[in-house]
Amino acid sequence: MTAITELPVQLAQLPDVTVLTNEPMAAHTSFGIGGAADLLVMPSSIGALAAAIKVLADTGVNVCYIGNGTNILVRDGGIRGAVIKLSEALTGIRRQGNVLIARAGESLGALCQHCAQQGLSGLEFAAGIPGSVGGAILMNAGANGGQMADATQWVDVVTDGGEIQRRYRDEIEFGYRRSCFQDNKLAIAQVAVQLTPADSRDVYRALYEAVEERCRRQPVGQASAGCIFKHPADDYAGRLLEEAQTKGMRVGDAMVSPKHANFIVNLGHATARDVLQLIEQIQQKVHDEFGILLESEIRIIGQDA
Protein backbone atom coordinates (compact mmCIF):
# COMPACT_ATOMS: atom_id res chain seq x y z
CA MET A 1 0.00 0.00 0.00
CA THR A 2 1.48 3.35 -1.06
CA ALA A 3 1.95 5.99 1.65
CA ILE A 4 -0.22 9.04 1.06
CA THR A 5 2.91 11.20 1.19
CA GLU A 6 4.14 9.51 -1.99
CA LEU A 7 0.91 10.01 -3.92
CA PRO A 8 1.27 13.67 -4.97
CA VAL A 9 4.36 12.88 -7.03
CA GLN A 10 2.80 9.73 -8.46
CA LEU A 11 -0.42 11.50 -9.45
CA ALA A 12 1.33 14.60 -10.78
CA GLN A 13 3.10 12.42 -13.31
CA LEU A 14 -0.23 11.64 -14.95
CA PRO A 15 -1.16 13.84 -17.94
CA ASP A 16 -3.95 16.39 -17.30
CA VAL A 17 -3.96 15.96 -13.52
CA THR A 18 -3.39 18.73 -10.96
CA VAL A 19 -2.70 17.75 -7.35
CA LEU A 20 -2.84 19.97 -4.24
CA THR A 21 -1.84 18.81 -0.76
CA ASN A 22 -3.35 19.82 2.58
CA GLU A 23 -5.88 21.93 0.68
CA PRO A 24 -8.55 23.84 2.70
CA MET A 25 -11.95 22.68 1.49
CA ALA A 26 -13.50 26.02 2.46
CA ALA A 27 -12.06 27.29 -0.82
CA HIS A 28 -13.93 24.61 -2.77
CA THR A 29 -17.42 24.80 -1.27
CA SER A 30 -20.18 27.38 -1.67
CA PHE A 31 -20.57 27.39 2.13
CA GLY A 32 -16.97 28.60 2.49
CA ILE A 33 -16.55 26.07 5.30
CA GLY A 34 -14.35 23.02 5.76
CA GLY A 35 -11.00 21.76 6.99
CA ALA A 36 -8.19 20.60 4.74
CA ALA A 37 -8.14 17.52 2.51
CA ASP A 38 -4.95 15.48 2.46
CA LEU A 39 -5.05 15.51 -1.34
CA LEU A 40 -7.19 17.39 -3.84
CA VAL A 41 -7.01 15.86 -7.31
CA MET A 42 -8.34 17.77 -10.33
CA PRO A 43 -8.35 15.89 -13.66
CA SER A 44 -9.02 17.84 -16.87
CA SER A 45 -10.03 14.92 -19.10
CA ILE A 46 -12.05 11.73 -18.70
CA GLY A 47 -8.92 9.70 -19.43
CA ALA A 48 -7.06 11.55 -16.67
CA LEU A 49 -9.96 10.92 -14.28
CA ALA A 50 -9.82 7.20 -15.04
CA ALA A 51 -6.03 7.09 -14.60
CA ALA A 52 -6.15 8.96 -11.27
CA ILE A 53 -8.89 6.71 -9.92
CA LYS A 54 -6.89 3.62 -10.90
CA VAL A 55 -3.78 4.89 -9.11
CA LEU A 56 -5.73 5.74 -5.97
CA ALA A 57 -7.62 2.43 -5.97
CA ASP A 58 -4.36 0.50 -6.21
CA THR A 59 -3.03 2.29 -3.11
CA GLY A 60 -6.11 1.72 -0.96
CA VAL A 61 -6.43 5.42 -0.10
CA ASN A 62 -9.92 6.63 0.75
CA VAL A 63 -11.46 8.62 -2.14
CA CYS A 64 -14.48 10.91 -2.33
CA TYR A 65 -15.81 13.03 -5.18
CA ILE A 66 -17.09 16.59 -5.29
CA GLY A 67 -18.27 18.89 -8.06
CA ASN A 68 -18.61 22.62 -7.45
CA GLY A 69 -19.16 21.97 -3.75
CA THR A 70 -22.58 23.62 -3.70
CA ASN A 71 -24.49 20.96 -1.79
CA ILE A 72 -21.96 19.82 0.81
CA LEU A 73 -20.74 20.65 4.27
CA VAL A 74 -17.16 19.62 5.02
CA ARG A 75 -16.49 19.10 8.70
CA ASP A 76 -13.86 21.21 10.43
CA GLY A 77 -11.31 18.38 10.69
CA GLY A 78 -11.16 18.06 6.91
CA ILE A 79 -10.94 14.92 4.80
CA ARG A 80 -8.43 12.13 5.16
CA GLY A 81 -7.38 10.60 1.87
CA ALA A 82 -8.06 12.07 -1.56
CA VAL A 83 -10.82 14.30 -2.89
CA ILE A 84 -11.33 14.18 -6.65
CA LYS A 85 -12.84 17.45 -7.81
CA LEU A 86 -14.91 17.29 -10.98
CA SER A 87 -15.65 20.90 -11.80
CA GLU A 88 -14.03 23.67 -13.83
CA ALA A 89 -11.18 21.50 -15.12
CA LEU A 90 -13.49 18.83 -16.54
CA THR A 91 -15.89 20.78 -18.75
CA GLY A 92 -17.29 20.71 -22.27
CA ILE A 93 -20.64 20.29 -24.03
CA ARG A 94 -21.36 18.79 -27.43
CA ARG A 95 -24.55 18.11 -29.38
CA GLN A 96 -25.74 14.91 -31.07
CA GLY A 97 -29.15 15.52 -32.61
CA ASN A 98 -31.46 16.57 -29.80
CA VAL A 99 -29.07 15.22 -27.16
CA LEU A 100 -26.52 17.34 -25.32
CA ILE A 101 -23.55 15.54 -23.80
CA ALA A 102 -21.90 17.42 -20.95
CA ARG A 103 -18.83 16.51 -18.95
CA ALA A 104 -19.46 16.12 -15.25
CA GLY A 105 -17.62 19.29 -14.23
CA GLU A 106 -19.66 21.57 -16.47
CA SER A 107 -21.88 23.92 -14.49
CA LEU A 108 -25.60 23.24 -14.67
CA GLY A 109 -26.12 26.92 -15.48
CA ALA A 110 -23.82 26.69 -18.50
CA LEU A 111 -25.71 23.63 -19.72
CA CYS A 112 -29.02 25.50 -19.41
CA GLN A 113 -27.59 28.42 -21.40
CA HIS A 114 -26.32 26.02 -24.06
CA CYS A 115 -29.82 24.57 -24.35
CA ALA A 116 -31.17 28.04 -25.11
CA GLN A 117 -28.40 28.78 -27.62
CA GLN A 118 -29.11 25.51 -29.41
CA GLY A 119 -32.90 25.91 -29.34
CA LEU A 120 -33.47 22.90 -27.08
CA SER A 121 -36.05 22.63 -24.31
CA GLY A 122 -36.19 20.35 -21.29
CA LEU A 123 -33.91 21.81 -18.62
CA GLU A 124 -35.70 25.09 -17.93
CA PHE A 125 -36.57 23.84 -14.44
CA ALA A 126 -32.85 23.77 -13.60
CA ALA A 127 -32.18 27.46 -14.28
CA GLY A 128 -30.43 29.01 -11.31
CA ILE A 129 -29.63 25.72 -9.58
CA PRO A 130 -25.94 26.03 -8.66
CA GLY A 131 -23.47 23.23 -8.99
CA SER A 132 -22.07 20.91 -11.61
CA VAL A 133 -23.81 18.56 -14.01
CA GLY A 134 -22.31 15.56 -12.22
CA GLY A 135 -23.55 16.80 -8.86
CA ALA A 136 -26.99 17.40 -10.33
CA ILE A 137 -27.14 13.77 -11.44
CA LEU A 138 -25.81 12.49 -8.12
CA MET A 139 -28.54 14.32 -6.20
CA ASN A 140 -31.21 14.21 -8.93
CA ALA A 141 -31.44 17.98 -8.61
CA GLY A 142 -34.80 19.51 -9.31
CA ALA A 143 -37.07 22.52 -8.99
CA ASN A 144 -40.34 23.88 -10.35
CA GLY A 145 -41.78 20.42 -10.91
CA GLY A 146 -38.81 19.07 -12.88
CA GLN A 147 -35.78 16.93 -12.04
CA MET A 148 -32.66 15.64 -13.78
CA ALA A 149 -34.18 12.16 -14.06
CA ASP A 150 -36.71 13.57 -16.53
CA ALA A 151 -34.08 14.46 -19.13
CA THR A 152 -31.21 12.05 -18.47
CA GLN A 153 -30.58 9.51 -21.22
CA TRP A 154 -27.34 7.96 -20.00
CA VAL A 155 -24.34 8.59 -17.75
CA ASP A 156 -20.74 7.52 -18.36
CA VAL A 157 -19.00 6.51 -15.13
CA VAL A 158 -15.53 5.41 -14.10
CA THR A 159 -15.14 2.36 -11.87
CA ASP A 160 -12.49 2.11 -9.17
CA GLY A 161 -10.52 -0.01 -11.62
CA GLY A 162 -10.34 2.91 -14.03
CA GLU A 163 -12.84 1.38 -16.49
CA ILE A 164 -15.33 3.67 -18.27
CA GLN A 165 -18.85 2.24 -18.34
CA ARG A 166 -22.25 3.53 -19.45
CA ARG A 167 -25.35 3.49 -17.26
CA TYR A 168 -28.74 4.12 -18.87
CA ARG A 169 -31.53 5.98 -17.12
CA ASP A 170 -33.38 2.90 -15.88
CA GLU A 171 -30.16 1.64 -14.24
CA ILE A 172 -29.54 4.80 -12.23
CA GLU A 173 -32.32 4.30 -9.64
CA PHE A 174 -33.34 7.94 -9.55
CA GLY A 175 -35.50 9.00 -6.63
CA TYR A 176 -36.29 12.17 -4.75
CA ARG A 177 -32.89 13.91 -4.41
CA ARG A 178 -31.04 10.67 -4.90
CA SER A 179 -29.46 8.28 -7.40
CA CYS A 180 -27.55 5.01 -7.17
CA PHE A 181 -24.28 6.99 -7.34
CA GLN A 182 -24.75 7.98 -3.71
CA ASP A 183 -24.33 4.33 -2.74
CA ASN A 184 -21.53 3.08 -4.99
CA LYS A 185 -17.94 4.03 -5.79
CA LEU A 186 -18.58 5.10 -9.37
CA ALA A 187 -17.38 8.52 -10.54
CA ILE A 188 -19.69 10.40 -12.90
CA ALA A 189 -17.68 11.41 -15.99
CA GLN A 190 -20.23 12.74 -18.48
CA VAL A 191 -23.98 12.94 -18.94
CA ALA A 192 -26.35 12.83 -21.93
CA VAL A 193 -29.66 14.68 -21.69
CA GLN A 194 -32.50 14.17 -24.17
CA LEU A 195 -34.15 17.45 -25.16
CA THR A 196 -36.84 18.81 -27.48
CA PRO A 197 -36.42 21.41 -30.27
CA ALA A 198 -37.88 24.80 -29.33
CA ASP A 199 -37.65 28.49 -30.13
CA SER A 200 -34.49 29.83 -28.46
CA ARG A 201 -36.36 32.96 -27.40
CA ASP A 202 -38.91 30.90 -25.47
CA VAL A 203 -36.17 28.90 -23.72
CA TYR A 204 -34.24 32.04 -22.79
CA ARG A 205 -37.44 33.60 -21.44
CA ALA A 206 -38.20 30.56 -19.28
CA LEU A 207 -34.64 30.48 -17.96
CA TYR A 208 -34.74 34.18 -17.11
CA GLU A 209 -38.06 33.87 -15.31
CA ALA A 210 -36.85 30.89 -13.27
CA VAL A 211 -33.65 32.69 -12.23
CA GLU A 212 -35.57 35.85 -11.38
CA GLU A 213 -37.95 33.90 -9.15
CA ARG A 214 -35.05 32.12 -7.44
CA CYS A 215 -33.32 35.44 -6.73
CA ARG A 216 -36.56 36.84 -5.31
CA ARG A 217 -37.16 33.94 -2.92
CA GLN A 218 -33.70 32.69 -1.95
CA PRO A 219 -30.58 34.26 -0.38
CA VAL A 220 -28.64 34.28 -3.65
CA GLY A 221 -25.26 35.91 -3.19
CA GLN A 222 -24.78 34.71 0.39
CA ALA A 223 -22.62 31.72 1.23
CA SER A 224 -24.84 28.67 1.67
CA ALA A 225 -25.22 25.07 0.55
CA GLY A 226 -28.69 25.47 -0.91
CA CYS A 227 -31.70 23.85 0.72
CA ILE A 228 -30.70 22.17 3.97
CA PHE A 229 -33.63 19.75 4.23
CA LYS A 230 -35.60 17.55 1.89
CA HIS A 231 -39.34 18.09 1.65
CA PRO A 232 -41.31 15.62 3.78
CA ALA A 233 -44.18 13.75 2.15
CA ASP A 234 -46.99 16.07 1.02
CA ASP A 235 -45.43 19.18 2.56
CA TYR A 236 -42.57 21.67 2.20
CA ALA A 237 -39.59 21.93 4.52
CA GLY A 238 -39.48 25.70 4.11
CA ARG A 239 -43.11 26.07 5.21
CA LEU A 240 -42.57 23.93 8.31
CA LEU A 241 -39.40 25.82 9.23
CA GLU A 242 -41.11 29.18 8.80
CA GLU A 243 -44.14 28.09 10.83
CA ALA A 244 -41.75 26.94 13.57
CA GLN A 245 -40.25 30.45 13.56
CA THR A 246 -36.70 29.38 12.78
CA LYS A 247 -35.82 32.35 10.56
CA GLY A 248 -32.94 34.32 12.04
CA MET A 249 -31.89 31.56 14.47
CA ARG A 250 -28.14 31.58 14.80
CA VAL A 251 -25.18 29.64 16.15
CA GLY A 252 -21.92 31.52 15.78
CA ASP A 253 -21.81 32.85 12.22
CA ALA A 254 -24.28 30.26 10.92
CA MET A 255 -27.79 31.70 10.58
CA VAL A 256 -31.13 30.57 9.20
CA SER A 257 -31.81 32.94 6.34
CA PRO A 258 -34.48 35.56 7.06
CA LYS A 259 -35.36 35.30 3.35
CA HIS A 260 -35.90 31.52 3.11
CA ALA A 261 -36.08 29.30 6.18
CA ASN A 262 -34.65 26.24 4.40
CA PHE A 263 -31.31 27.99 3.88
CA ILE A 264 -28.51 28.39 6.39
CA VAL A 265 -26.06 31.13 5.46
CA ASN A 266 -22.46 31.68 6.52
CA LEU A 267 -22.19 35.25 7.80
CA GLY A 268 -18.42 35.17 7.44
CA HIS A 269 -16.70 32.89 9.91
CA ALA A 270 -19.11 29.99 10.47
CA THR A 271 -17.66 26.58 11.24
CA ALA A 272 -19.13 23.22 10.34
CA ARG A 273 -19.76 22.72 14.04
CA ASP A 274 -21.87 25.91 14.08
CA VAL A 275 -23.91 24.69 11.12
CA LEU A 276 -24.45 21.21 12.54
CA GLN A 277 -25.57 22.58 15.91
CA LEU A 278 -27.98 24.94 14.17
CA ILE A 279 -29.35 22.07 12.06
CA GLU A 280 -30.05 20.06 15.21
CA GLN A 281 -31.79 22.99 16.87
CA ILE A 282 -34.12 23.75 13.98
CA GLN A 283 -34.84 20.04 13.41
CA GLN A 284 -35.89 19.88 17.06
CA LYS A 285 -38.14 22.93 16.74
CA VAL A 286 -39.95 21.45 13.76
CA HIS A 287 -40.26 18.08 15.50
CA ASP A 288 -41.65 19.68 18.65
CA GLU A 289 -44.16 21.72 16.62
CA PHE A 290 -45.28 19.20 14.00
CA GLY A 291 -43.91 15.78 15.02
CA ILE A 292 -41.87 15.64 11.79
CA LEU A 293 -38.12 14.96 11.71
CA LEU A 294 -36.71 16.75 8.67
CA GLU A 295 -34.09 14.83 6.69
CA SER A 296 -30.92 16.57 5.56
CA GLU A 297 -30.55 17.23 1.83
CA ILE A 298 -26.94 18.40 1.93
CA ARG A 299 -24.05 15.91 1.99
CA ILE A 300 -21.99 16.07 5.18
CA ILE A 301 -18.45 14.74 4.71
CA GLY A 302 -15.12 14.71 6.51
CA GLN A 303 -14.30 14.44 10.18
CA ASP A 304 -14.63 16.66 13.22
CA ALA A 305 -11.71 18.78 14.37
pTM for the predicted model, two decimal places: 0.92
Nearest Cα to Cα of residue 149 among 172, 120, 121: 172
Percent of the chain with pLDDT over 70: 99
Question: For position 2, what pLDDT does the model report?
Answer: 56
pLDDT band of 52, cuts 50, 70, 90: very high
Q: What is the mean pLDDT of residues 221-229?
A: 95
| DSSP E strand boundaries for the chain | 17-24, 36-43, 63-66, 72-74, 79-85, 93-96, 99-103, 120-121, 142-143, 146-147, 152-158, 164-168, 187-194, 196-197, 223-227, 250-251, 254-256, 263-266, 299-301
What is the average per-residue pLDDT within 190-217? 95
Name the average pLDDT for the chain.
95
Report d(CA 249, CA 228) in Å as an integer.
14
pLDDT band at 1 (very low <50, low <70, confident <90, very high): very low
- Mean pLDDT over 276-294 rounds to 97
Q: Which domains does the chain have, with CATH numbers?
A: 4-85 (3.30.43.10), 93-203 (3.30.465.10), 220-301 (3.90.78.10)
The Cα 297–Cα 206 span in angstroms is 26
- Gap between the Cα atoms of 272 and 300, Å rounded: 9
Does the pLDDT at position 279 exceed 50? yes
